[in-house]
Structures are given as C-alpha cells and as structure tokens.
Structure 1
Amino acid sequence: LDVIATGTVHSHDSDSASGPSNGLPALPTMAELSANPGEQFVPWDAALDPAPEETVHHVSLEVEEVEKEVAPGRTQTVWTFNGQTPGPVLRGKVGDRFVVELTNNGSMGHSIDFHAGDISPDEPMRTIEPGESLTYEFTANRSGIWMYHCSTSPMSVHIANGMYGAVIIDPPGLEPVDEEYVLIQGEQYWSSDLTEGTDADAVAYGTPSAVTFNGYPFQYDHEPLSAQAGDRVRMWVLDAGPNLPLSFHVVGTQFDTVWSEGDYLIDHSEDSGSQTLGLLAAQGGFVEFSPHQAGSYTIVNHAMSNAERGAHGKLVVVDN
C-alpha cells in the first residue's frame, strides 16, 4: 500500500466521484486512508475467546459520545457502546439468557436493538434520554453472528457514527480451532463538522469516506492478525452496514468451511471450497481454512472499491 505521513486528510479535486454534482465533500484517497495511524492508535482486538461456561450473561452497555481518531488524520466525535466501535462482542450458546443494562451517558436520545433476541421491540428497543437506563433481556434461541445497533432515528446515521456490535451464538457442536477472529465491516461518512461526525446526506447517497474492519480503515495492515502454518483458522464476519455489501475473501486461501446465516454451505470439505463469503448489510457467518505456507495473506472485501476504502488487512502466517 502507498502511504503518506499522518496528518490532515486532504480530498480529491472537485471533479471526484462525490464532488459538487451532489454537494458532498470529495473523498479521501487510498493513500490517505492507509497512512500511518496517530501515536495514540490502538488496534481493535479481533481475537476471540471461547464462549463462557455460564448460561446467564449480565452485560452493562453505556452509551458514550467520545472524540477519537477514526482514520489517519481524522478525529471526530463518535457515538459508541462502552467507548468503542464496534461495541463489545458478546458470546454464548443456544439457550443462554442475556440480561443487558443499557445506560445513556450521551447528550441525545439513543437505544439498542439485539438481532440475537426475538422479542417484542416496543419496550426494550425504545429510545431513552440522557441519564436514563433500561434493561433488555432475551434468550438466544438460534445460533448466528447477530448484529446489535442503536435503532434511534435516523438509524443509518447512528450506525454509521459507530453504534454497532455483534453477538456470537455458537452453533451446536462447534469445534475449537487454533486461531479465531471476528471482523465486522462498517462504513464511515465524514462530515465537515467534526462535532457531528457523520454526514447524513452522504449516508443517504451511499458514498462512504471509509469502509472498515472493526472501526478503522486498514488497521490490520498496520497491525496484522497472526497464525502458524497448518493452523486451523476461523474468521467470524458480520456486515454492520448501514448500506454496503461484503464479499469476504482471504487472498491465497480457499475456505473448506463456510457457515452463513445459520447454515453450513460447506462443512470441512476435502474436495470443494469457496473463495468468498457474501453478505448483505446485517448478515453474518464464519469461514475456516488452513494456510499451509508461511506468508502474508491479504484480507479484503472483494468488492474492490470497498477494499480500497479500507476494508483490507493482513493475516501473517509463520512457520511453526
């Protein structure tokens, strides 16, 4: 990747794809998005722990509006669950119960919607004002990697400004692997007003400034994921949107197991494989593969314009 020193993000000239014809600011370049992060950058930890043994999960989520670096040279106010984007990953098994306490420490109304629960939305998904709390309880009746997100209107803007996360409910009989990661695709739509963060018009037009895995463009190029040759690797993948699809691919590998939206498309096959896991917004699944040789394996959204906007990383494999 071509990179430049960290600094203020500069736009293309005025005739770029999102230029004055629709009144939106021009987009940052790939070189700007893949530049070195700021000194305070800490990669979002994509490594997953196994599901805990307990069957009742008590979770505290706090809405926080924080100023943080979202891309090289781009610091803005984002809306978060527990100060991070994506929010915390929750994990359990079919039949587990989740008791979630949501507290709104922000300056405006916010809410939460767990796709992992099938319950009436009227009360638990209601918008709460600053200083208020609510309790959201659900039983995980079905396996999946389920999105959760703020559902306050305009929902697209709340998601794009950082309010999304994942609940992983293991399918029965899921076997342990050597390395297990989660990658959540999200989109950023920058406003010229850093206190607003997200440009609602850009969201409506579907012209993202950046597309990320786990909240920061190209972060796993700067801090690659790791494995050893011959390891069995599982990658859970969720497309948090709010708009764009995800064609998940790891260059140099073939997936021998693909699990998508609750079902195995391929299950530990020796003679057939898959090159991508295709997901629409709010869909998820996992893939498994075993890299046989040491090397640097590139992780991409194979809708290549989205990879070039930041949905891109590396898995570095070393000899064991």
Structure 2
Amino acid sequence: MTERPLGGVATGIALVVLAVLTGVGAQHLTGVTADTAATTTSAIPTGHTTTIAVTIDDMRYRPAQLTVPAGDRLVIALTNHDRRRHDLALDTGAKTGMIGPGKTARLDAGVMGGPVAGWCTLPGHRQAGMTLTIVTTGGHETAHGAPSASATAPAPMVDTMADPGPGFRARDAAAPAVPAGRLHRVALHVREVQLEVAPGVRQKMWTYNGTVPGPVLRGKVGDTFEVTLTNDGTVDHGVDFHASALAPDEPMRPIEPGQSLTYRFTATKAGIWMYHCSTMPMLLHLGNGMYGAVIIDPPGLAPADREYVLVQSELYLGGDLAAMRADRPDAVMFNGYAAQYTHRPLSARAGDRVRIWILDAGPNRGTSFHVVGAQFDTVYAEGRYQLRPADPGGAQVLPLAPAAGGFVETVLPQAGHYPFVSHVMADADRGARGTIEVTNR
C-alpha cells in the first residue's frame, strides 16, 4: 500500500497536513481507540491512503471539509487544541474515543466512495456546529448512487464562533452625542448592498444609508426632525418613525425607486424608538435589514462614562420570507453582525458608569439583556424608570418585546471580561452576545 499526498485542489489542506503532521509524527499517541470503518460504498479501492490532519479548536473541526480521491483509504489525524475533550464520529460507524486537550488520535475512516458526515457526540456539540464533511473527487458513481461532492456541498451556515479575520472592524456601538440646535435634518437613502453579516457570510440587505441597522438618531424632547427619504433601491420602500405622533397616511407611504419624500415630526416623548420600513409585507422589509433607532433623552439625563447602543435583530439567510413567518432565524445579532462584539469587545475602565441603550428590532423575537458579572442599578424601559441608583434593589436583565427599548446602567468594579447576552439562550447561541473588556485606570 502506498501513501498518496494531497494535491491539486486540495493544496491548502496539504499545507495543513505538512504543518500539523510534523508535530504528530514525533508525538506519542494517546492510546485512544479508533474504530476502522468499512468501505463507504462500492468504490474500487485504489490501494492508496490519504492522510489528513484535522485540528479541534473553539468547538470546530479545522478544516471542516475534507476532500479525498474516490477509492482512497482515508486516515484522519485528529489533534485537540481546545480546552475541552471532544471526539469524532462518522455516519459510517467509524469513531474515535474521547480526546483530551492537547492529545491526538488517528481514525481509519475506510475507503472513500461518497459523501460522509461527521460530528462530535457530546451533548449539544453537533447542534452547535461541530460537524465535519468528507467528499470525494474523481472515480465513478457508486452502486448506491451516491451524489457528487458538488451536489452534497453543505448549505451556507452561520458560524458565530468563527474568527472574522484581522481586517474585520466591528460596527461602532458608541452612542452619538445629542446634536446642537432644535431642528435636526436627516437624509436617509434606501440602498440595497452586499454586507457581511457573520464571519464569511455575505448577503444582499435592504438598508438605510448602507448599514444594518440604519444610523442612530438622537435628540431631546421638543426637538424637530426633518427626514428626507430617497429610494435608491429597486422596489418600493418607506419609513415609519415610532418617535412621531401623526397621521401615517402621507409620511409613511411607500415610494417607488427614484422618488423622495420629506417626513417631519416633533419628538414629544422620551425613550429609544424604532424606525423601520412601512411597506408591506413589513416582515420581509424588517427581516432584510430596514430598521434603526432614535434616542430621545429623558429630561435631566446625567452623563455616563461610557454609553453604547445595541440594536438586536434576526438574520434570515437569503431573505427567506417563509423562515421569517415560521420564526426560524439563522442568527440573532447586535448591530447587524452575529457575535461581532465577542471578536471585537466593547471597552470600559474599572469604576466607569456604563449606560447601554437596547432596542429590540425583531422582527419576531424578544430579548432579555444581561451582563455577566454585573448588576444594573438603573433600568429605564419604554419611557419610564423602573430602577434608580438610590433604590435598595438591583436588576439582572432588561426584558424587551419586539420594537421595545430602554437602557440599563451599571458600574463595572474590576478589570476583566464581562460577557453580555440575550438571556433567551437559544438566541445567545445564535449570536446575540458580546463582551465588555474592562481595564484598570
């Protein structure tokens, strides 16, 4: 039997093999048992063996797709770089035992003749995205009629644990200052743009001014906003400002591509208010990114050392209206990108008073905002204070329904990393999470 190195389209994987197997060759294997798989199909064995090095890191197999010549025997050299134990099971029945941190096992996957799926068997790990796919190149269709690699390529998925790369810049979550004057002129342009919404995931979004969410507007009670909406998109769009109190017939009407309208209102009530496209079906327009926030400060609002705005929303890959109607989001995001502030944390200093404005843009799911390691001494929701610093109690969450908003304040006493999440934990897993990095003064 001869050993066949990776080549051709698998050059990138070959580099991983060379880099990792150098260490594996000198490393004593853990003694973890590995079952030998039978041939996956009736492919004619070539007599060659392909060995691929796979690492485990942050609950992910890397690479997550292995390409093997049809008829080759596949051996996977699996090294666990994670801080938790994991294993690998294939749908052919081959599997490793549990592999501890820093340990390596070799899995004989058998002769490859068609697609094979793999996963970690620990509870919840497969559902969290710890999966692996093996596909074959060359050869002929097997007797079982296994589909080609291209036919079985995994559908795009949102991996909120993936690193977005060194060039990634998170959306600035800092709250804007209250602008001078009592009249605020705003230009909103509807634009359809390709945006990265999660690591490696891009899709066309319907936006205000090219961002999801749209720009955060701010003012005081009694301020007037004069908004010029221009539709630079390809379908009709409009805008509905919840901060306004007026007949919606004219200012909230849809306008066709190339048209503009002027929307003028005076803010009479404080709060963080949603604005969004008012064109039917509103669910589709909201689900595709057409929403934003308007902050109207409560009278006498004291300054904070740090002030942030987080708009929670859902992501539906491909703008799938059926998924929106079924409430099946592919991700849940703060400020238009899944888990972006886990990769690029917000910042504060020990002892800072931190104010965080929260708006739940939905369109379907509520939130229960929580900062791990912190207690809120101020809670403001839907136009009124629920808690003040002088009160004896504290709060652990700010619960909000879709379209609701408010803010919380806390003093973070020590340097460290304070995760924040929607305590609707399924949505935290989907990307509604981040971190505040606190440093000493």
Change (3 A) 1:78 1:52: same
User: Which residue pairs with 1:212 in the alignment?
Assistant: 333
* Deviations 1:71-91 (CA, angstroms, capped at 9, x unpaired): 112111110000000100000
User: Which residue pairs with 1:188 in the alignment?
Assistant: 315
- For residues 283 and 212 of structure 1, the distance between their equivalents in structure 2, rounded to whole angstroms, comes to 16
Contact 2:245 2:265 survives alignment (8 Å): yes
Contact 1:231 1:291 survives alignment (8 Å): yes
Contact 2:309 2:357 survives alignment (8 Å): yes
1:237 paired to 2:362? no
Larger Rg: 2
- For residues 118 and 298 of structure 2, the distance between their equivalents in structure 1, rounded to whole angstroms, comes to 46
Q: Which has the higher contact order (CA 8 A, sep 6+)?
A: 1
User: Which residue pairs with 2:403 in the alignment?
Assistant: 282
**Over aligned residue pairs, what C-alpha RMSD do you find?**
2.3
- For residues 179 and 263 of structure 1, the distance between their equivalents in structure 2, rounded to whole angstroms, comes to 21
Q: Determine which of 196, 201, 215 is the counterpart of 2:322.
A: 201
Task: Within 5 Å, give how 1:1-320 maps onto structure 2.
Answer: 2=59, 28=157, 32-37=159-164, 41-191=168-318, 198-269=319-390, 271-320=392-441
Contact 1:6 1:35 survives alignment (8 Å): no
- For residues 134 and 2 of structure 1, the distance between their equivalents in structure 2, rounded to whole angstroms, comes to 50
Contact 1:103 1:133 survives alignment (8 Å): yes
Offset of 1:270 from its aligned partner? Answer: 5.3
- For residues 276 and 121 of structure 1, the distance between their equivalents in structure 2, rounded to whole angstroms, comes to 34
User: Which residue pairs with 1:20 in the alignment?
Assistant: none
Q: Which amino acid aligns with 1:229?
A: A
User: Which residue pairs with 1:195 in the alignment?
Assistant: none
SS class of match (1:157): helix
Offset of 1:54 from its aligned partner? Answer: 1.1
Contact 1:227 1:318 survives alignment (8 Å): yes
Change (3 A) 1:3 1:56: farther
SS class of match (1:159): helix
SS class of match (2:286): helix
- For residues 416 and 284 of structure 2, the distance between their equivalents in structure 1, rounded to whole angstroms, comes to 39
Deviation >2 Å, runs of 4+: 1-8, 25-29, 38-42
Offset of 1:272 from its aligned partner? Answer: 0.9
Structure 1 unaligned segments of length 5 or more: list them.
Answer: 18-24, 192-197
* Deviations 1:3-26 (CA, angstroms, capped at 9, x unpaired): 677999xx999x979xxxxxxx98
* Deviations 1:133-166 (CA, angstroms, capped at 9, x unpaired): 0000000000010000011111111111111000
* Deviations 1:285-313 (CA, angstroms, capped at 9, x unpaired): 00000011111000100010000000000
Offset of 1:28 from its aligned partner? Answer: 3.6
SS class of match (1:145): strand
TM-score normalised by the chain length of structure 2: 0.65
SS class of match (1:47): coil
Count of matched residue pairs: 302
- Stretch deviating more after TM superposition (263-272 or 283-292): 263-272
Change (3 A) 1:293 1:102: same
